[in-house]
């Protein structure tokens, strides 16, 4: 009946608004770079790329010390300055500002 249709429409609109309000926030760090000896910069680049590909709204990168954080900065800079400029999407270029918005470290 008409009442059920109106309620269903209202529920659908409410769900659409709520979906737009949800933000995906990811906390990550130097996984596999301690005792396992992984390459910290490579791991950071992989996590940045995965977050962008997954449309994560915000990425918090936690490092164990200042040297580790500097490696993360270097990884971000390498990604922005050397890797992304050479990667083209269907429109011709990647949006490098997206990484700064995603992870304002």
Could you report the per-residue pLDDT of 41-89, keeping only the tens digit for each? 888 888 888 888 888 888 898 888 898 899 999 999 998 888 777 666 6
pLDDT of residue 77: 92
Predicted confidence band of residue 36 (pLDDT cuts 50, 70, 90): confident
Burial degree of 16 (CB within 10 A; 0-12, 13-18, 19+): exposed
Would you state the torsion angle of the CA atoms of residues 25, 27, 30, 34, taken in this order, to the nearest 10 degrees?
-150
CA nearest neighbour of 26 among 71, 1, 61, 64: 61
Does residue 2 surpass a pLDDT of 80? no
Please state the pTM of the whole predicted model: 0.62
pLDDT category of residue 22 using cuts at 50, 70 and 90: confident
Residue 57 CA to residue 42 CA, distance in Å, equals 21
């Amino acid at each position: 009946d008409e009442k059920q249709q109106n309620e269903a429409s209202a529920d659908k609109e409410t769900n659409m608004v709520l979906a737009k309000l949800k933000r995906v926030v990811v906390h990550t760090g130097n996984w596999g770079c301690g005792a396992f000896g992984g390459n910290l910069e490579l791991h950071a680049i992989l996590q940045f790329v995965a977050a962008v590909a997954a449309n994560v709204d915000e990425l918090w990168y936690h490092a164990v010390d200042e040297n580790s954080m500097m490696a993360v900065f270097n990884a971000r800079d390498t990604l922005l300055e050397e890797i992304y400029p050479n990667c083209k999407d269907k429109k011709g270029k990647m949006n490098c500002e997206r990484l700064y918005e995603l992870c304002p470290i």
